[in-house]
Amino acid sequence: MTTAVRPLIAGNWKMNGLAASLSEAKALAQALAEQPAATDVALCPPATLIAQMAWQLKGSVVAIGGQDCHDKQSGAFTGDIAAQMLADAGASLVILGHSERRAYHGETDAQVAAKVEAALRAGLKPIICVGETLAEREAGRTLVVIESQVKGSLPAPLQGAPFAVAYEPCWAIGTGLTPTLAQIEEVHVAIRRLISAQLGESGAVAPILYGGSVKPDNAGEILKVSEVGGALVGGASLKAADFLGIIRAL
């Protein structure tokens, strides 16, 4: 990782968490106030908790993010959330193009790119996810798939804007499986080359997060891999103690 890259460890709560879960977020913020982290830290709770979490963590180092947004600013899109609404609720980041959105909601690279532009217009920092399926990896297509997702999902307005990319092999998410460190490095180095060529300086300094079954006991070795600039963490971000174990591994 180049020194200019400021790492980010972000927790993706997915469709987990009720008001009672805010105690975990508060415990995390408290622990980071007592002992600061060597990384930026964010939590992306379900949309229902963003405003409450933002209020309760006001003044803390923990940034709040959404998990998706619509590409339009407003309109007849029942159930959707505009980027500006996330910002209005207290979010400063948003995860876009997560493999669960791509798989279960059929999101294409072009739709992800449109959402990224919407996020930027709303002043949100996008965390743009890419990753291959197991079939794609087994067919030796990982780098081809990643290149196509990076080219299609990261639009030109990212030049000059802060953003992060998350490399999340679909087969490693929530499975307990992780790629080898060499496989992680190969993809991260490829992503750095691609985004630097595509987006110049912004691409050279954007943190590239690894995501997929990161836990306190494997975080240390993963976070040391070249061009790994943090992590996107699902299951292990739900409990403050586990998430802190990952944050402290950096």
The interaxial angle of helices 181-199 and 216-223, nearest 10 deg, is 50
- CA distances to 3, 11, 26, 246 from 66, rounded to whole Å, are 28, 11, 18, 21
Contact flag: residue 36 with ligand PEP (CB under 6 A): no
Residue 234 binds ligand PEP (CB under 6 A)? yes
The yes or no reply on residue 213 touching ligand PEP (CB under 6 A) is: yes
Please enumerate in sequence order all residues whose Cβ is within 8 A of that of 8, keeping only pairs 6 or more positions apart, or say none: 39, 40, 41, 42, 127, 164, 207, 209, 229, 230
Task: Pick from 42, 93, 122, 214 the residue near ligand PEP by CB under 6 A.
Answer: 214
3-class secondary-structure state, position 11: strand
Of residues 100, 107, 136, 168, which has the active-site annotation? 168
Answer yes or no: 70 catalytic: no
Under the binding rule (CB under 6 A), the answer on residue 242 touching ligand PEP is no
Q: What is the DSSP string of 67-87?
A: S--BSSSSSS-TT--BHHHHH
Residue of 24, 98, 100, 186 marked catalytic: 98
Rounded least distance, CB 60 to ligand PEP, Å:
22
188 counts as catalytic = no
Interface with ligand PEP includes 230 (CB under 6 A)? no
Helix axes of 240-247 and 216-223: crossing angle, nearest 10 degrees: 20
Say whether residue 81 binds ligand PEP (CB under 6 A): no
With binding defined as CB under 6 A, does residue 134 bind ligand PEP? no
Task: Rule CB under 6 A: say whether 233 interacts with ligand PEP.
Answer: yes
Which residues are known catalytic residues?
98, 168
Residues that bind ligand PEP (CB under 6 A): 12, 14, 168, 173-174, 211-214, 232-236
